[in-house]
């Protein structure tokens, strides 16, 4: 065991937790072949098989499961010890793994990543963009960003956006052919472009009718799981879209799309929050990102307040 390298133990833990050499390779930034060779070398040193491998799956043996349960706390302590050194650095350093939904990637992170990394050049970020609500502990993520209502109560959550609103819109060409819906129920006669989440369900089309929030079941000839494709379909006049307001604001402003049913729009709902486990020591790199996003949100709010309001025309 004295000859066993720490890197080999870390590799075994990654493969066992991911139940896949391919996924573990992505996590560690190495090739699957390198990981397979490393684990095989570790098994030869220990004289015991740690993983059962088939063409479709990887799972710990009984010996591997016992070793994993004992190694994981040790590696966590090792990471915490290394992280404590960050307090003595002028600039935080480290590797951050984040899981975020597409709107956050586009509207929150993409505009600021260059400035954040320029300010903290010793931090590296691995961002996974997914509509699924990920278990950040099981997935070994440092943090996630999701809608506030979907975050577990045992997580620490920090708001990174204002409340969000959904908007219904269609192209002028589509409305010229099919007419304009005047109330939510009219959508039953329209071709609605629906967005399917990774879990299989649809983003609900919700409206306020007679003071009550109602969810409308709509249908149409196209279902997508990609926002760019959804917007392209709407711009091409295929049908009516229902999407976060941020995506369509510039398209409505330039006349490419027309806002619909605004009198029935559901009030803004809780926006996006960055969340992370409360029982873990917060990495310095994560603290730096949280503070950066907090200041960015404050600056955006001040910019909006100072922006001149449009004058109404007689």
Please give the distance of CA 221 from its chain centroid, rounded to a whole number.
28
For domain 166-264, is the CATH number 3.40.190.290?
Answer: yes
- Domain 89-163+270-303: give its CATH architecture: 3-Layer(aba) Sandwich (3.40)
CA angle 258, 263, 267 (to 5 degrees): 105
Q: Give the max Cα distance, the chain.
A: 86
Could you give the count of Cα atoms lying within 13 Å of 17 in the half-sphere of its Cβ?
23
**C-alpha to C-alpha distance for 236 and 173, rounded to whole angstroms:** 8
Supply the pLDDT for residue 309. Answer: 57
CA–CA separation, 120 and 91 (whole Å): 7
β-bridge pairing 94-100 and 143-147: parallel
Give the pLDDT score at 11.
86
Residues 6+ apart with CB under 8 A from 299: none
What is the spatial distance between Cα 170 and Cα 260, in angstroms, rounded to a whole number?
Answer: 7
The pLDDT score that the predictor gives to residue 150 is 86
- What pLDDT is recorded for position 133? 84
Long-range contacts of 50-58, Cβ-Cβ distance < 8 Å, separation of 24 or more? 50/12, 50/16, 51/12, 51/15, 51/16, 57/19, 57/20, 58/15, 58/16, 58/19, 58/20, 58/21
- Contact of 243 with 166, CB cutoff 8 Å: yes
Phi-psi region of 40 (alpha: psi -120 to 50; beta: other; left: phi over 0): alpha
- Residue 314 pLDDT: 34
164 exposure class (CB count in 10 Å sphere: 0-12, 13-18, 19+): middle
The tokens for 26 are 């992505």
**Residue in the block written with tokens 């486990």:** 277
Give residue for tokens 């960055």.
274
pLDDT string in tens for the chain (314-residue length): 444 577 788 888 888 888 888 888 877 778 888 888 888 888 888 888 889 887 778 888 988 888 888 887 777 766 666 656 665 565 788 889 999 999 999 999 999 999 999 999 999 999 999 988 888 887 888 999 999 888 988 899 999 999 999 999 999 999 999 999 999 999 999 999 999 988 888 999 999 999 999 999 999 999 999 999 999 999 999 999 999 999 999 999 999 999 999 999 999 989 999 999 876 668 889 999 999 999 999 888 887 777 665 443 33
Which residues, including other chains, have CB under 8 Å from residue 289's CB and lie 6 or more apart? 96, 116, 123, 125, 143, 274
- Give residue limits of the domains in the chain: 6-85, 89-163+270-303, 166-264
Domain 6-85 = CATH 2.120.10.30:
no
Q: E strand or H helix at 195, and its extent? A: strand 192-195
Residue found under tokens 């990102």: 289
d(CA 73, CA 53): 25
The pLDDT assigned to 3 comes to: 43
Tokens of 288: 């730096």
Fold agreement (89-163+270-303, 166-264): yes
**pLDDT of amino acid 79:** 67
């Amino acid at each position: 065991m004295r000859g066993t390298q720490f890197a080999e133990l870390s590799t075994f833990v990654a493969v066992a937790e991911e139940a896949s050499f391919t996924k573990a390779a992505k996590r560690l930034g190495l090739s699957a072949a390198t990981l397979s060779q490393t684990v095989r070398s570790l098994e030869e040193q220990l004289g015991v098989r740690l993983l059962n491998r088939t063409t479709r799956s990887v799972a710990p043996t009984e010996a591997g499961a016992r070793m994993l349960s004992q190694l994981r706390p040790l590696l966590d302590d090792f990471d915490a010890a290394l992280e404590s050194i960050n307090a003595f650095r002028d600039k935080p350093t480290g590797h951050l793994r984040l899981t975020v939904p597409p709107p956050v990637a586009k509207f929150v992170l993409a505009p600021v990543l260059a400035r954040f990394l320029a300010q903290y050049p010793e931090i590296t970020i691995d961002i996974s963009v997914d509509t699924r609500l990920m278990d950040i502990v099981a997935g070994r993520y440092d943090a996630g960003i999701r809608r506030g209502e979907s975050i577990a109560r045992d997580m620490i959550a920090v708001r990174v956006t204002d409340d969000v609103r959904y908007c219904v819109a269609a192209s002028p060409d589509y409305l010229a052919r099919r007419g304009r819906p005047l109330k939510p129920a009219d959508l039953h006669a329209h071709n609605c472009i629906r967005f399917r989440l990774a879990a299989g369900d649809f983003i609900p089309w919700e409206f306020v009718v007679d003071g009550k929030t109602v969810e409308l079941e709509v249908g149409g000839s196209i279902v997508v799981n990609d926002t760019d494709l959804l917007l392209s379909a709407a711009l091409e006049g295929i049908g009516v879209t229902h999407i976060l307001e941020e995506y369509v604001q510039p398209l409505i402003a330039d006349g490419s799309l027309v806002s619909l049913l605004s009198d029935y729009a559901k009030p803004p709902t809780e926006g996006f929050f960055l969340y992370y486990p409360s029982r873990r020591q917060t990495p310095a790199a994560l603290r730096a990102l949280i503070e950066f996003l907090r200041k960015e949100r404050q600056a955006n709010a001040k910019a909006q307040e100072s922006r001149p309001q449009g004058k109404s025309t007689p």
